Structure 1
Amino acid sequence: MISDNINLDSDWDQLKIHFEKVNTGFFEKLQQLYPELSQGDLKVCAYIKIKLSSKEIAHMMNISLAGINKRLYRIRKKMNLPVHSNIAEYLDKI
């Protein structure tokens, strides 16, 4: 279990490096606009930005689909977005 978490962290570190090359300044802009977003929230936003489905994100983060849906609800709330808004469309504009 611990080695799985280390692998997930390592995978995220590699993905983040490549993500930032393609989406320069994304994390900085998001943190400036919404400083209350946690590192986990930022990770979910990055996964959404690269068009992963909720099911794929749940698998990548080793949590349930219900857990991802709750997190998306909380992210929308932190961003003051309507509950049923398309967060992917919003993140594409950042």
Structure 2
Amino acid sequence: MDNSSKFDHFRTQVQPALASKLAEFRLLGIDSVAEKELWEFLLKKKWKKVKEEKRLYEMIQEILSVKVSDYLSFATIEAYKTAEFSFDDEAELQELLK
């Protein structure tokens, strides 16, 4: 069983903690993060290698302990993984370097 299906049944229960963390992000000037993106970060980073069953209070504690810098680092790496950079066209490269 993958992590998403393992934790999906908790999502509605931890939604207030997710909303609280997103409000904290907004206070710090990070307005572009959606709840889905934060949930993906938790699944891929925080709960990637969970050996035993997580308790609800542990999940809430981990959600509330997410640092903005950790999320931004994760989002940057994910963006690089999915981005398609191609400098085959010399004109595009020169335009970029202006």
Q: What TM-score do the two structures reach when normalised by structure 1?
A: 0.31
From the CA coordinates, give the structure whose radius of gyration is larger: 2
Q: What TM-score do the two structures reach when normalised by structure 2?
A: 0.30
